[in-house]
Amino acid sequence: MTTDTSDLADSGTDDPRASFRIDTLPRGLRTSVQDWAVRVRRGDPGGLPAILGLLVIGVLFSATTPLFLTANNIGNLLSQASFIALIALGLTFVLILGDIDLSAGVTGGVAAGFAAQSLRSGDLHAAVGSGVYVALLLGMLLAAGLALWKKLYVVAGLVLAGVGLLLTGASETHVWLAFALAVCIGIAIGVFNGVLVTSLGIPSFIVTLALFLTWEGVTLDAVKSTSIGTSRYEAWFAMTHRNMSPALGWVSLAVLVGGYAATAFLRQRQRARAGVSFDRLALTSLRVAVLAVGGGLAVWWFNQNRNPNPGPAIKGVPWAASVPIAFMVVFAIVLTRTSWGRHLYSIGGSKEAASRSGIAVNRVRIGAFVICSGMAAVGGLFLADFSGGAQPALGQGNTLLYAVAAAVIGGTSLFGGRGRPRDALLGAIVIAMIPNGIQLHPGLPISVVQEITGLVLLIAASVDAISRRRARSG
């Protein structure tokens, strides 16, 4: 891509085909680096700020305490980052629209609260009382009805499945079905957010701020002012405390690298055949090799025993890392390879352009809110496990701010139109590093955590605003 088009206009070629020569040439490493530099200059820094932040903060803590860069601490760090990453992954969809979901943290609280209460009580109805139980059922039926009205049939089906879980009591006996209930509750909340924003035209900022308060109350209704521990449920306790077996780690990596390699090579071959610019074999191979070697090193490293004390070995890739990565891969495919994803970006770029192109703008937007709240529920489950149990304050405090900060530090724009799932993971690690590293410095007051996190978010938002200005003027 050339930045200056004027010299091409003057080049005096008579064949218009010639001006598109660049679209037919193969791209090697150099062109790809040049393209990247052009993108950064045009105001799309991608993962650059997050990687810089990662390095700066990482080097700072490694230099000041030997406890930071230990295998044990890295494992902890990933547990801390997992729920931030999961919520940020969902938020990415809403942020791409140029909207926000301030209730994502407490949505996770509500969802995990009901899941925990079902499991613990074995009779959710009796445990929360008829008022709350009936309200939950009616709320979900209403959400299903709204989804049907908006022709979101899959969403309606999922919410109704949640109603089924409640009525049959299935979520009270099986931990996985309790997870499913949590996600269905999250999805129902997403329907409310989406419909209120699109049909009534209330800014998402207001809708989700109002519901933030409501869900805080509902979490209290769900767990009844106690903390419901997760350690009794093996699958739940595994989220932030257990690891994949070393063998499963290798198999997962093989699937990931194999899948990436197969699609990348196929795609580039298709592009070459179609006569449009494609990445040279060497470039694609390099990408695959970087993923394979980097992933291989990570899996190998995690597969060493990292228990600092004698006793049972702690080894394997933490579920807290592999689950967010799995979601990231799926979401990246949805966003970049499907027309739904493209429509989502176009709405973030220009609602007007999208709706004039015949896109059902509101349906896509509700879908994004649904994914956001569904992921908030998944994040809430991880958070409940990380913080020892589902308790009344689950998902309140800084949870949401950390997730927004993670997405924005990763490179997702608060102005809409730009954002990638990968950014959410990178940003989550940066955000989780701050409390993790500071708590390793006993001399530092804990107030520093919030002060520094706030400043980091401010820096990220400034980078976002500046790059947006560049994109407009460039």
Partner 1 sequence: MTDPILRVEGLNKSFGAVHVLHDVDFAVYPGEVTALVGDNGAGKSTLVKCIAGINTLDTGQIYWQGEPVTIASPSVASALGIEFVYQDLALADNLDITQNMFLGREIRRGPFLRDAEMETKARESLISLAVRTINSVRQPVASLSGGQRQTVAIARAVLWNGKVVFLDEPTAALGVAQTRQVLNLVRRLADTGIGVVLISHNMNDVMEVADRIDALYLGRVAAEVLKKDTSTSQVVELITSGRSGSLGLSATTAAQSA
Q: Which residues bind partner 1 (CB under 8 A)?
A: 1-3, 5, 8-9, 13, 16-17, 19-23, 42, 270-271, 273-277, 337-340, 342-343, 345-346, 348-350, 352-359, 417-418, 471-472, 474
Beta carbon nearer to partner 1, 20 or 153: 20
Token pair, residue 257, equals 């690298």
Beta carbon nearer to partner 1, 121 or 277: 277
- What count of other Cβ atoms lies within 10 Å of the Cβ of residue 131? 9
- What count of other Cβ atoms lies within 10 Å of the Cβ of residue 360? 14
Least distance (Å) between residue 121 CB and partner 1: 41
Least distance (Å) between residue 42 CB and partner 1: 6
Please name which of 159, 167, 180 lies closest in space to residue 115, comparing C-alpha atoms.
180
Least distance (Å) between residue 332 CB and partner 1: 13
Report the C-alpha gap between 270 and 217 in whole angstroms. Answer: 54
Beta carbon nearer to partner 1, 138 or 276: 276
Please name which of 403, 365, 470 lies closest in space to residue 94, comparing C-alpha atoms.
365
Token pair, residue 16, equals 């218009």
Least distance (Å) between residue 359 CB and partner 1: 5
Least distance (Å) between residue 344 CB and partner 1: 11
Report the C-alpha gap between 22 and 178 in whole angstroms. Answer: 54
Read off φ and ψ for residue 34, nearest 5 degrees: -60, -45
Least distance (Å) between residue 1 CB and partner 1: 5
Beta carbon nearer to partner 1, 5 or 168: 5
Distance linking the first and last C-alpha atoms of the chain: 14
Beta carbon nearer to partner 1, 339 or 447: 339
Tell me the three state secondary structure of residue 279: strand
Least distance (Å) between residue 55 CB and partner 1: 28
Tokens 């679209």 map to which residue?
23
Tell me the three state secondary structure of residue 243: strand
Helix axes 204-223, 175-199, angle to 10 degrees: 150
Least distance (Å) between residue 166 CB and partner 1: 31
Within 13 Å and on the Cβ side, how many CA atoms surround 352? 0
Beta carbon nearer to partner 1, 324 or 417: 417
Tell me the three state secondary structure of residue 65: coil
Report the C-alpha gap between 104 and 301 in whole angstroms. Answer: 33
Least distance (Å) between residue 279 CB and partner 1: 12
Beta carbon nearer to partner 1, 16 or 312: 16
Please, which residues bridge with residue 390 across strands?
A: 228
Beta carbon nearer to partner 1, 14 or 66: 14
Q: What is the torsional sign of CA 92, 93, 98, 99?
A: negative
Least distance (Å) between residue 113 CB and partner 1: 34
Least distance (Å) between residue 276 CB and partner 1: 4
Beta carbon nearer to partner 1, 359 or 394: 359
Contacts of 448 (CB under 8 A, 6+ apart): 438
Least distance (Å) between residue 350 CB and partner 1: 5
Report the C-alpha gap between 186 and 218 in whole angstroms. Answer: 13
Residue 135: exposed, middle, or buried by beta-carbon count in 10 A (0-12, 13-18, 19+)? middle
Beta carbon nearer to partner 1, 361 or 406: 361
Beta carbon nearer to partner 1, 10 or 311: 10
Residue 65: exposed, middle, or buried by beta-carbon count in 10 A (0-12, 13-18, 19+)? middle
Torsion-angle region of 358 (φ positive above 0: left; ψ -120 to 50: alpha; else: beta): left
Beta carbon nearer to partner 1, 28 or 58: 28
- Quick check: 91 and 104 in contact, CB under 8 A? yes
